[in-house]
């Protein structure tokens, strides 16, 4: 069994794999701060050198910001693109770190050995899991696994300003049959997960305008319409008593969760009491007929993110304001079009405006959800591979936040992505004392070897 040989090779070579990760972690590639531009370039150059040593043809590609890294190995089988990012978040507040964030160390954490440094989990440790799997594979087989493109970005932590133009300009080169993205985590401590649905987002700020100027409530109160009264009445009706959004047509295009996925989610045993308990709450407030996991991953939401108007400073001012404003956002799911949702929301508000009130609509913006084609056999192959390594069934999960690169791959390259990662909730990414469990690193490398082996067999 050559897979067994690859896995043993990974086990034997783990100390050297860690050493290479430490080297990368020593480069302070903070993308948002121009003081570290040279370090970002150095991290990119380091990765190119590693890729070349592995047998990829590789180069850095200049952008108006930090360079991209592209590596290519034309082999047999389906063309797979692997994505990670080499840039990291700033380290401040530095005084909350127990050591220099760029002097990585392996030390004992509460649940076993950890690698501690900025970027250990997000995303250097994760991207190195894939390279180390490729290395062990090559050591055993003499060639790299399959038909691979490696794509590393250096601006993920600073908004990816160069990503879309780069994807557009290099569409032919980067369009593969499938993308693998390693920048997510396990579900719970030991349950491997493949993120297959990412919610979209639509947002808008608006103002309700009443009188031409602020008024004195002793003179105009009662007779003049107060825009805060209008705003709160309308937004107070945004959800019904069962948590359903009341904008007409809001749920029209929402796809139901496939039964196989719904069954997997049931099997995850999500502890919503602990999830909400962690933030001092106890009762789910979303759609009453949906499970909490559905509410987070596969159902759309509406939230009032901010609301203001009138006098909110110290003391009291009996003003009757001319304006009241709010910021409202919607998390969108498969099938929903932000270009339909935002106008529907606007029309719903307008229909409820009393005489003398006008709506001022500011900068509506939206991006749709991305949902991967899990009928692609690679998804089941990866699920089987992860389940074997972690000795627990892997699940196709959703992601409540957003991972824009997956959506961009789909939008600009027409390519689905499997998001597989080995981070844990307590990795403290973006925070002081970031760490990556040695187990995440080791089993992450082994996981990729198994995934690549399964995909190669297809």
Residues that bind Zn ion (CB under 5 A): 122-123, 183
The nearer residue to Zn ion, 183 or 416, going by C-beta atoms, is: 183
Least Å from the CB of residue 419 to Zn ion: 11
The nearer residue to Zn ion, 104 or 185, going by C-beta atoms, is: 185
Beta strand 178-181 with 435-437 is unpaired
Least Å from the CB of residue 404 to Zn ion: 11
Measured CA angle at 84 (ends 176, 118), to 5 deg: 180
The nearer residue to Zn ion, 123 or 453, going by C-beta atoms, is: 123
- Contacts of residue 260, defined as CB under 8 A and 6 or more positions apart, other chains included, come to none
The nearer residue to Zn ion, 84 or 200, going by C-beta atoms, is: 84
- Contacts of residue 274, defined as CB under 8 A and 6 or more positions apart, other chains included, come to none
The nearer residue to Zn ion, 330 or 409, going by C-beta atoms, is: 409
Name residue 229's beta-bridge partners. none
Least Å from the CB of residue 121 to Zn ion: 8
Least Å from the CB of residue 213 to Zn ion: 48
Chain Cα centroid distance, residue 326: 26
Nearest alpha carbon to residue 273 among 300, 298, 299, 291: 291
- Contacts of residue 375, defined as CB under 8 A and 6 or more positions apart, other chains included, come to none
The nearer residue to Zn ion, 160 or 226, going by C-beta atoms, is: 160
Please report how the helices 125-141 and 2-12 are oriented relative to each other, as an axis angle in degrees rounded to 10: 130
Least Å from the CB of residue 74 to Zn ion: 28
As a whole number of Å, the CA-based R_g of the chain is 25
Least Å from the CB of residue 123 to Zn ion: 4
> How far is Cα 346 from Cα 342, in angstroms, rounded to an integer?
6
Least Å from the CB of residue 29 to Zn ion: 12
The nearer residue to Zn ion, 39 or 183, going by C-beta atoms, is: 183
Do residues 337 and 173 lie in contact, with contact meaning Cβ atoms separated by under 8 Å?
no
CB atoms under 10 Å from CB of 324, counted, come to: 24
DSSP string for 203-226 = EEEEEEE-SSS-EEHHHHTTTSPP
Burial 300-319 (b: 16+ CB within 10 A, else e): bbbeeeeeebbeeeeeeeee
Q: Is the peptide bond before 93 cis (omega within 30 degrees of 0)?
A: yes
Least Å from the CB of residue 103 to Zn ion: 21
The nearer residue to Zn ion, 112 or 401, going by C-beta atoms, is: 401
Instruction: Count Cβ atoms within 10 A of the Cβ of residue 340 and give its class: 0-12 exposed, 13-18 middle, 19 or more buried.
Output: middle
Least Å from the CB of residue 244 to Zn ion: 34
The nearer residue to Zn ion, 206 or 409, going by C-beta atoms, is: 409
């Amino acid at each position: 069994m050559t897979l067994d040989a690859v896995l043993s090779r990974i086990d034997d070579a783990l100390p050297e794999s860690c050493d290479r990760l430490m080297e990368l972690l020593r480069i302070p590639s903070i993308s948002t701060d121009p003081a570290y531009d040279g370090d970002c370039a150095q991290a990119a150059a380091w990765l190119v050198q590693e890729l070349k040593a592995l047998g990829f043809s590789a180069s850095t590609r200049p952008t108006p910001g930090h360079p991209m890294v592209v590596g290519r190995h034309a082999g047999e089988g389906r063309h797979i693109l692997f994505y990670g990012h080499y840039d990291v978040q700033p380290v401040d507040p530095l005084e909350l770190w127990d050591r220099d964030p760029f002097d990585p160390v392996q030390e004992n954490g509460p649940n076993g050995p950890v690698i501690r440094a900025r970027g250990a989990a997000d995303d250097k440790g994760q991207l190195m899991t894939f390279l180390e799997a490729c290395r062990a594979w090559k050591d055993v087989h003499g060639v790299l696994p399959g038909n691979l493109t490696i794509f590393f970005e250096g601006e993920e932590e600073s908004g990816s300003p160069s990503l879309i133009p780069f994807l557009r300009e290099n569409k032919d080169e980067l369009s593969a049959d499938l993308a693998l993205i390693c920048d997510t985590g396990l579900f719970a401590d030991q349950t491997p997960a493949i993120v297959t649905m990412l919610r979209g987002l639509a947002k808008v700020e608006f103002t309700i305008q009443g009188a031409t100027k602020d008024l004195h409530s002793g003179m105009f109160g009662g007779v003049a319409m107060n825009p805060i009264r209008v705003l709160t009445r309308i937004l107070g009706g945004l959800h019904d008593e069962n948590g359903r959004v009341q904008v007409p047509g809001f749920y029209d295009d929402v796809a139901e969760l496939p039964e196989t996925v719904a069954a997997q989610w049931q099997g995850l045993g999500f502890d919503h009491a602990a999830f909400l308990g962690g933030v001092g709450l106890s009762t789910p407030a979303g759609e009453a007929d949906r499970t909490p996991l559905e509410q987070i991953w596969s159902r759309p939401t509406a939230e009032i993110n901010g609301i203001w108007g009138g006098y909110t400073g110290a003391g009291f001012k009996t003003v009757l304001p001319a304006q009241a404003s709010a910021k409202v956002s919607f998390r969108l799911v498969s099938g929903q079009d932000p270009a339909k949702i935002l106008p529907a929301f606007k029309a719903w508000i307008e229909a409820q405006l009393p005489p003398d009130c006008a709506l001022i609509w500011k900068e509506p913006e939206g991006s749709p959800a991305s949902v991967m084609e899990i009928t692609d056999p690679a998804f089941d192959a990866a699920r089987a591979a992860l389940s074997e390594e972690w000795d627990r069934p892997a699940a196709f999960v959703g992601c409540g936040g957003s991972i824009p690169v997956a959506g961009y791959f789909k939008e600009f390259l027409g390519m689905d992505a499997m998001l597989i990662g080995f981070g844990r909730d307590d990795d403290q990414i973006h925070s002081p004392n970031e760490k990556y469990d040695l187990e995440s690193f080791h089993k992450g490398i082994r996981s990729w070897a198994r995934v690549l082996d399964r995909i190669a067999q297809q």
